[in-house]
């Protein structure tokens, strides 16, 4: 199976095609020394999905903290479809039957200098990390993970790893820095097999240090450190059975329950800081999205970037979108802050909160209403910016 040809076809097809995953590819058998681990590695053993999600350290539970990291990368494949960096923390795994452009990160150019980095809002403790390779015959064959110390920003000695498991569904475990507080983890690719490389998913076992969790820099966008936990149904939802969900024990399971997260217009894209990606709901005046933080934070403003008038390219048609005049922000399920646009031409709403009330926020629900424009049903958001309270 020629995956390179396949990805080019996907790119051509995907100029606007977004309501289906590419077809035509079949599961590719593992070729070459797929399970080789002949050379030594300083990383720990390679092939088991970790099951830890509830052990504790220092009184804080060890969980997957990847969803609460902001993800940046040296680049991503923009060949028609977009293999965005944030796909490594969406809890979704694509299988080997296609490229799964909406749940994987893929690089195409300068592969062996490529990197992807997870950064947390405040210091974290990391016990270990699971890396899931792309589920294609293209494979990362060596690399390293380096962790930046929270206090000094100096990178700790890197942890080298050899080839990732080529099935894309089996993790390779990488050692963490243990008790040293860090603020980011950078995964670098040194060698690969095939024409592309990337990751299906990254799971990071650790916790954000609770005693320092309020020391958020004023420039931090807390939305980028929040997990999208629920949203109105998504236009053009992608219901492919090729996508698996990482369960709470980080085992790939069936395609249930991933609505609103997979797909090209999913709710994830409101938290990536990228105005070119967006969430489109088809619920009109009942549109909502819910975000969750791993540690309580004080929030002072919620900035909502509306869609533009012009609509978005969908398959061969333009989908003309509605817009919203009114936004309601509900924190921790009880306190409500709201705001209306002054002018229908405004492309944003900034909802101010009361820091005396919104001081220990973990859950943020945003409701959009008073719809106008080209559609009474399809509204959405390009991006969300949540500003922490001044320290
Ligand atoms: Ca993923
Ligand atoms: Ca976005």
Nearest ligand by distance to the CA of 258? 1
Average of per-residue pLDDT across 18-25: 27
Q: Which residue has the higher pLDDT, 43 or 21?
A: 43
Ligand 1 center to 200 CA (angstroms): 5
**pLDDT confidence tier of residue 30, bands split at 50, 70 and 90:** very low
Measuring CA to CA, which residue among 133, 165, 129 is closest to residue 146? 129
pLDDT of residue 222: 98
- Residue 278, pLDDT > 80, answer yes
Nearest ligand by distance to the CA of 279? 2
Ligand 1 center to 104 CA (angstroms): 5
Tokens of 181: 């507080």
Nearest ligand by distance to the CA of 268? 2
**Per-residue model confidence as pLDDT tens digits over 197-217:** 999 999 999 999 999 999 999
Ligand 2 center to 44 CA (angstroms): 36
Ligand 1 center to 103 CA (angstroms): 4
Ligand 2 center to 108 CA (angstroms): 22
Nearest ligand by distance to the CA of 266? 2
Ligand 2 center to 339 CA (angstroms): 21
Ligand 2 center to 261 CA (angstroms): 13
Nearest ligand by distance to the CA of 103? 1
Nearest ligand by distance to the CA of 106? 1
**pLDDT confidence tier of residue 52, bands split at 50, 70 and 90:** very low
β-partners of residue 331 are 335, 364
Nearest ligand by distance to the CA of 86? 1
Residues 215, 144: contact at Cβ < 8 Å? no
Nearest ligand by distance to the CA of 101? 1
Ligand 1 center to 86 CA (angstroms): 8
Ligand 1 center to 87 CA (angstroms): 4
**pLDDT confidence tier of residue 63, bands split at 50, 70 and 90:** very high
Average of per-residue pLDDT across 91-107: 87
**pLDDT confidence tier of residue 181, bands split at 50, 70 and 90:** very high
**Per-residue model confidence as pLDDT tens digits over 162-176:** 999 999 999 999 999
Ligand 1 center to 132 CA (angstroms): 9
- Please give the Cα distance from 165 to 95 (Å, whole number): 13
pLDDT of residue 96: 82
Ligand 2 center to 192 CA (angstroms): 30
CA distances from 180 to 79, 183, 231, 272 (A): 39, 10, 36, 28
Q: Which residues contact 381 (CB under 8 A, 6 or more apart)?
A: 270, 278, 279, 289, 304, 305, 306, 307, 366, 368
Q: Which residue has the higher pLDDT, 357 or 96?
A: 357
**pLDDT confidence tier of residue 234, bands split at 50, 70 and 90:** confident
Nearest ligand by distance to the CA of 382? 2
Nearest ligand by distance to the CA of 116? 1
b/e sequence 208-219, b meaning 16+ C-beta within 10 Å: bbeeebbebeee
**pLDDT confidence tier of residue 36, bands split at 50, 70 and 90:** very low
β-partners of residue 201 are 132
**Per-residue model confidence as pLDDT tens digits over 331-387:** 999 999 999 999 999 999 999 999 999 999 999 999 999 999 888 888 999 999 999
């Amino acid at each position: 199976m020629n995956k390179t040809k396949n990805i080019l076809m996907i790119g051509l097809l995907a100029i606007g095609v977004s309501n289906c995953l590419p077809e035509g590819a079949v599961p590719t058998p593992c070729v070459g020394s797929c399970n080789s681990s002949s050379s030594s590695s300083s990383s720990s053993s390679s092939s088991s999905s970790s099951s830890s999600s509830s052990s504790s350290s220092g009184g804080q539970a060890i969980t997957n903290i990847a969803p609460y990291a902001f993800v940046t990368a040296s680049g991503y494949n923009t060949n028609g479809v977009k293999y965005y960096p944030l796909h490594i923390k969406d809890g979704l795994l694509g299988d080997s039957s296609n490229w799964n452009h909406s749940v994987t990160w893929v690089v195409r150019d300068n592969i062996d200098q490529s990197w992807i980095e997870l950064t947390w809002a405040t210091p974290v403790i990391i016990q270990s990390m699971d890396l899931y390779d792309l589920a294609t015959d293209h494979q990362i064959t060596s690399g390293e993970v380096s962790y930046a110390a929270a206090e000094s920003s100096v990178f700790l000695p890197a942890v080298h790893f050899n080839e990732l498991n080529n099935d894309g569904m089996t993790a390779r475990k990488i050692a963490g820095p243990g008790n040293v507080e860090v603020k980011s983890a950078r995964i670098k690719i040194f060698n690969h097999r095939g024409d592309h490389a990337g990751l299906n998913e990254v799971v990071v076992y650790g916790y954000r240090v609770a005693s320092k969790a309020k020391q958020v820099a004023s420039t931090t966008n807390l939305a980028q450190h929040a997990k999208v936990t629920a949203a109105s149904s998504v236009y053009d939802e992608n219901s492919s059975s090729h996508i698996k969900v990482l369960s709470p024990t980080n085992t790939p399971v069936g395609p249930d329950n991933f609505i609103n997260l997979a797909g090209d217009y999913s709710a994830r894209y409101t938290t990536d800081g990228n105005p070119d990606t967006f969430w489109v709901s088809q619920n009109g005046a009942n549109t909502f999205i819910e975000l969750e933080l791993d540690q309580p934070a004080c929030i002072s403003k919620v900035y909502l970037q509306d869609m533009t008038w012009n609509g978005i390219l969908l398959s061969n048609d333009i989908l003309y979108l509605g817009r919203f005049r009114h936004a309601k922000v509900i924190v921790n399920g009880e306190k409500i802050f709201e705001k209306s646009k002054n002018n229908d031409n405004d492309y944003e709403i900034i909802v101010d909160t009361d820091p005396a009330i919104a001081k220990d926020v973990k859950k943020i629900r945003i409701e959009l209403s008073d719809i106008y424009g080209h559609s009474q049903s399809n509204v959405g958001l390009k991006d969300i910016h949540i500003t922490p309270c001044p320290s």
